[in-house]
Amino acid sequence: MNYKYQSPIKFKYVGKPMKRVDAMEKVTGSAKFVTDMFFPNMLYAAVKRSPIPHGIIKRIDVSKAKTLPGVRAIVTGKDVPYRQGIYLVDRPIITMDRVRYVGEPVAAVAADTLEIARQAVELIEVEYEELPVVQDPRESMKGEILIHPDLANYERLPIYNIEPEKNVFHHHKTRKGDVEKGFKEADLIVEGDYSLPQIYHAPLEPHAAIAYWDLGGRLTVWSSAQSPFTLRNLIAHAFKIPRHKVRVIAPYVGGGFGGKAGINMEGIVIALAEKIKNRHIKLVYTREEDISAVVRQGMYAHIKTGVKKDGTIVAMEATLIFDGGAYAEYGTNVVRAAGYTLPGGYYVPNLKTDSYGVYTNHFLGGAFRGFGHSELHWATERNLDEVAQKLGMDPLELRLKNVLKPGLTNSMGQKIHHDTGNMEACLKKAAELIEYGKKSTPSGPRKVRGKGIAGLVKAPAMPTNAGSSVIIKFTEDATVTLQASIQEIGQGFNTAIIQMAADALHMSPDKIHFVTPNDTDFNPYEWQTVASRALWTVGNALYRAAEDALNQIKNIASQVLGVAPHNLEVEDDRVFVKYRPEVYLLLKDVVMGYTYPDGHAIGGPVIGRGSFVPEMLTNLDLETGQGNAAAEWTFGAEAAEVEIDLDTGEITIIQLVGVFDAGTIINPITAGGQVIGGMIQGMGPALFEVIKYNEKGYPLTVSFTDYKIPTIADIPENIKYDFVETFEESSPFGAKGVGEHPMISVPPAIASAIYDALGINLRELPLTPEKILEAIERKNNNF
């Protein structure tokens, strides 16, 4: 790396528990979300959606809707013939000629009230010519039904491989070592097929946006967005307008989990607002609409692993086929991230991975907490369990034998260093916390218990130029306003950045105010609030901004005190001479510029500026997947104890354990909340979450009546977590992300525990009671 820090900051506030700065607003209900916002004479939008999964639009008739009193504007795809997309520009704002999934927008209405808008939508007549449907991405790759016949002509970033004749929007390849030779050297080869379905983000707040075009042609959008600057860029690109003509404001966001990372429904309300200048138009999705807006990809995987008798992995070959749905969205990078991370936190000298993102007539797959890593770890960790079983080896022992350590290289050829992280320590600590290997007593007859463990690793899956910036402004009384553009989506960033700033500026946190909401007109640039990258990348920018501000203070004070700037220190409310602390100036007399008794002034308002981009990164080779695409890695391990009812197949989670090496933990309270929440969220896809479709491609789980998520009744009584704090030397605070990681390996840990209890291997998520009973029956019939 180009820079290394050896803990240059003396931590006084970092690492300490601190109450969330937004706690009072949120618990009292005074925090403002887009859904809470209203403007005078505001109009309301509703969307006409496709009732079929695949077809050609033959005719749209909006004449009846236009005559409904209170209707102010109607748009169809012909009014906005633009496409949008973050990496591959494949998705119409409103579809123009073809629908590709049930629920795709075909028209939209703005009216005086929401009720009128919805009535008008019902009056819009659409005639379709139905087309054949493809739901299985493996079938889709045969190319018999093309979802995007014009894929070859779509605009895209050059780091992605498309295969138009196979409905493939990205094919990632990893080639390391000699796989054929590796398998020849293996004493045992174990292979299997593993799968998981699409799932829904389930945020408390659905997608919501308000758009306003002023008479001068400038657009303002209020959105429940995770990434305001990226949203601004995507809006401007899609509508072909200059960036400075677009302003995005993102207030509090009621949960994102990746689903609000890019552009989703904003274009619809923008298109309506373009027709009615000087009027605010608001669109809030219903829960049914939100479920169909964006989901996590489904995946089919085939994993083949070769090992020596002592458990040493010598080769692995993997094929991941992602159900990307109707549009690529973030799926291009999900496919890439999963491909370059496989096999996870283990050393494999000979590796071949093919990771495919494939179009189907399902809901479009986007970013989701874990970003492809939950999917790949389900397959690889399950496969490692089966390898251990065939070897007669303990699954934990197998993992410890093959874990990545300093000096070894990962899948993309990066060398592991001492500060990369310590997965071995995470595995051992997780085993200790759950008392791995020690059986506990079931709660009753016909019930059995088991324990399982799984490893994990994830890096920020981001472009090589993903930048961050921070501004520090001193006020007249030497307090500070702090600006950055990471979006607070519940992760506690607004609190953590104040703690980091307090240590970097050597002042009390109560003298620092973090400015909200995010506003692209006033805030410094930030790439996105995704990828568990904020503490690392913004921490670097913050440190530089603090150094800039402190240097300005010292330069001003040095002229007054007659000493060199490097002989000055700043602490609390003063700047003083290092070796004579009794010689000082008050900060409030310096930060606006120092004024001598005769009125002569020097310096000026202190404004610290810091920018950061990870300069060490490179793109991956498209044919080998080798390169330096990941800036830092967070390792971890998770363990579970389950109890299973042999008569009903019901699974009860007795314990969940998570241990993560996220470097310096900035705030133990918020980090702990992330871990507990993430592990509970990971229970959902493990046990019951699934987007279901019937045989014709119509969705069956479009409300919380049918789509089950974990509730308080599902939370285990015993949840334990801990941190291994290996100082990350590319961060001045030694910190890196832990937001996504806690949900990654909960499913394979639970599946491993099920094997420990029953001796059965389940390869398909979710792990339902029906599958348990069927597996028990198959096992019994084989005896």
What is the set of domains in the chain, with CATH numbers? 23-31+465-612 (3.30.365.10), 34-131+206-253+260-293 (3.90.1170.50), 298-462+618-781 (3.30.365.10)
How far apart are the C-alpha atoms of 395 and 258, rounded to whole Å? 32
Element (H, E) at 673: helix 668-687
Give the closest residue to 506 by CA, choosing from 485, 471, 480, 468.
480
Contacts of 411 (CB under 8 A, 6+ apart): 174, 176, 340, 341, 342, 343, 348, 351, 353, 625
Please identify which residue in the block is written with the tokens 């070897």: 391
Alpha helices in 411-463 (DSSP H): 423-434
The β-bridge relationship of strands 281-284 and 43-49 is: parallel
Interior angle at CA 241, CA 236 and CA 246, nearest 5: 60
Q: Check: pTM over 0.85? Answer yes or no.
A: yes
Question: What was the pLDDT predicted at 482?
Answer: 99
How far apart are the C-alpha atoms of 50 and 314, rounded to whole Å? 50
| pLDDT block averages, 10 residues each, the chain of length 783 | 61 96 94 97 99 99 98 98 97 98 99 99 99 99 98 96 98 98 99 99 98 97 98 98 98 96 97 98 98 98 99 99 98 97 98 99 98 98 99 99 98 96 98 97 97 98 96 98 96 97 98 97 97 96 98 98 98 97 98 97 97 95 97 97 98 98 97 97 98 98 97 95 96 96 99 98 98 95 74
CA dihedral of residues 141, 50, 372, 4 (deg, nearest 10):
120
How far apart are the C-alpha atoms of 584 and 566, rounded to whole Å? 14
How far apart are the C-alpha atoms of 128 and 148, rounded to whole Å? 17
Question: What was the pLDDT predicted at 10?
Answer: 82
How far apart are the C-alpha atoms of 540 and 732, rounded to whole Å? 6
| Positive or negative: CA dihedral 516, 522, 525, 528 | positive
Question: What was the pLDDT predicted at 1?
Answer: 39
Residue 587, class by beta-carbon neighbours within 10 Å (0-12 exposed, 13-18 middle, 19+ buried)?
Answer: buried
Question: What was the pLDDT predicted at 4?
Answer: 67
- AA identity, residue 661: D
Please identify which residue in the block is written with the tokens 């946006």: 209
- Paired with 655 in beta bridges are 641, 718
Contact 693, 135 (CB under 8 A): yes
How far apart are the C-alpha atoms of 346 and 335, rounded to whole Å? 20
Alpha carbon of residue 502 to chain centroid: 27
Question: What was the pLDDT predicted at 7?
Answer: 60
Q: What is the 3-state secondary structure (H, E, C) of 702-725?
A: CCCCCCCCCCHHHCCCEEEEEECC
Question: What was the pLDDT predicted at 9?
Answer: 72
Contact 493, 673 (CB under 8 A): no
Alpha helices in 415-490 (DSSP H): 423-434
- AA identity, residue 398: L
Contact 512, 542 (CB under 8 A): no
Hey, what are 75's tokens? 């748009």
CA-derived radius of gyration, the chain: 27
Q: In what order do the strands lie in the sheet with 651-661?
A: 447-458, 634-645, 651-661, 718-723
Q: Which long-range contacts (CB under 8 A, 24 or more apart) does 145-152 make?
A: 145/54, 147/54, 147/100, 147/326, 147/359, 147/360, 147/361, 148/90, 148/359, 151/90
Alpha carbon of residue 49 to chain centroid: 27
Mapped onto helix, strand or coil, the DSSP state of residue 588 is helix
CA atoms within 13 A on the CB side of 492: 22
- Using the CB atoms, write b or e for 228-263: b if 16+ within 10 Å: bbbbbbbbbbbbebeeeebbbbbbbbbbbbbbbbbb
Alpha carbon of residue 581 to chain centroid: 47
**Cis bond upstream, residue 197 (ω within 30):** no
How far apart are the C-alpha atoms of 688 and 309, rounded to whole Å? 37
- AA identity, residue 117: A
E-strand ranges in 38-90 read 43-49, 55-61, 71-76, 83-84
Hey, what are 81's tokens? 């013939």
How far apart are the C-alpha atoms of 128 and 56, rounded to whole Å? 6
- Using the CB atoms, write b or e for 667-704: b if 16+ within 10 Å: beebbbebbbbbbbbbbbbbbbbbbebeeebebebbee
Contact 326, 104 (CB under 8 A): yes
Hey, what are 345's tokens? 């936190």
Contacts of 333 (CB under 8 A, 6+ apart): 87, 367, 371, 461
How many other CB atoms sit within 10 Å of the CB of residue 308? 14
Interior angle at CA 386, CA 383 and CA 387, nearest 5: 90
How far apart are the C-alpha atoms of 268 and 18, rounded to whole Å? 41
Question: What was the pLDDT predicted at 115?
Answer: 99
Give the closest residue to 403 by CA, choosing from 431, 422, 379, 378.
422
Hey, what are 781's tokens? 């019939």
Contacts of 207 (CB under 8 A, 6+ apart): 224, 259, 260, 264, 265, 284, 285, 289, 290, 293
How far apart are the C-alpha atoms of 755 and 696, rounded to whole Å? 35
| Positive or negative: CA dihedral 241, 243, 246, 248 | positive
Contact 167, 136 (CB under 8 A): no
Give the closest residue to 676 by CA, choosing from 421, 486, 491.
491
How far apart are the C-alpha atoms of 578 and 583, rounded to whole Å? 9
